[in-house]
Amino acid sequence: MFKTNCKKTVSKMILSFILITVTLLSGCQKNTINSAIEFGTIDVSEIDKIELSGTTGGKDGNYSYTLSDQEKKEFVHLLNQVELGDEVDKNQALSSGAVTYYKLYFQGKDVVTLCPGHYFGVDEKYYEFVNFDELWDEFVTFNSKQDTSERLTVYDGAVADLNSSQEKEQVYFDATVLEVKKKSIKVKCSESFDSGIPVDEEFSVTTNIVESGELPDLNAGDHIRIVFDGIIKESYPLQLGNVFAIYLLDENGNL
């Protein structure tokens, strides 16, 4: 009788252990799904359109337009590489200042709003951007190389042609090169002039779409002047509009 009761007790303990293990594993799996959204499986054929919107600094305002088919393919390819981690507090994420949004319209009528930045927003939630350092320059380059010559943009509720003389205005600032990468340079603003760039602000500037077609051989520590269209996208890190030229300065700050 004792042996029988003992066997029953052991069986119950084993069963309880199995149930607890399964419950814990299920909980871990659920947390993983909620905290790490996979973008790698998204296919461009699943998306009808992508709308890009955001806020520029200074004299401009809000802008919004629909990506072309080619831009849509490029963005999805970039999105496929994004790796997200744990969910973060929304207030913490919003304090980073990211205000560039991509609204994806899927063929199944689902709409997902993404907000890339130091933290990556997915609808109303924000997550750690695990490979931010690896991909952020790619996002900067993508946002900067949009063909806006025939596109209409909304500024503070009014429609304006980006090809207008106002948007072709050129402003500049001086900076120190902190790091040189394949498609961009990380800089620190040393003299703002009329650009609206805060002094000591650090951010990346794309180098593969400089409109002058000429780019000096740059190294960390170089002093440069960056000429652009005056558009500052208020994201974190900050992004510029179209870059017209990058000039190397001498030790006196002259061209």
Q: For the chain, give the percent of residues with pLDDT over 70.
A: 67
pTM reported for the whole predicted model: 0.57
Preceding peptide of 237 cis, ω within 30°: yes
Among 19-33, 133-147, 182-196, 206-220, name the one with the lowest average pLDDT: 19-33
Which residue matches tokens 């689902």? 110
Same domain for 96 and 126, yes or no, is: yes
Average pLDDT of the residues of the chain: 75
The answer to whether residue 4 is domain-embedded is no
Residues 58 and 105 in one domain: yes
- 146 and 53 housed in the same domain: yes
Shared domain check, 50 and 151: yes
Q: What is the pLDDT of residue 234?
A: 61
For the record, the structure tokens of 78 come out as 């970039």
- In the listed set 131, 155, 179, which residue is the last one of a domain according to the structure? 155
**Within-domain flag for 5:** no
Same domain (yes/no): 109, 187: no
Q: Is residue 17 part of a domain?
A: no
Asked whether residue 190 falls in the same domain as residue 231, the answer is: yes
Considering the domain architecture, whether residues 106 and 48 belong to the same structural domain is answered as: yes
Q: For 212-245, how does the pLDDT look when each residue is reduced to its tens digit (9 = 90+)? A: 667 889 999 999 999 988 888 766 677 888 888 8
pLDDT computed for residue 147 by the predictor? 44
179: CATH: 2.40.50.320
Q: Are residues 188 and 127 in the same domain?
A: no
Instruction: Please state, for a pLDDT cut of 90, what percent of the chain lies above it.
Output: 30
Give the model's pLDDT for residue 160: 38
Domain count, the chain: 2
User: For residue 128, what are the domain limits?
Assistant: 44-155
Q: Are residues 187 and 139 in the same domain?
A: no
141 and 115, same structural domain? yes
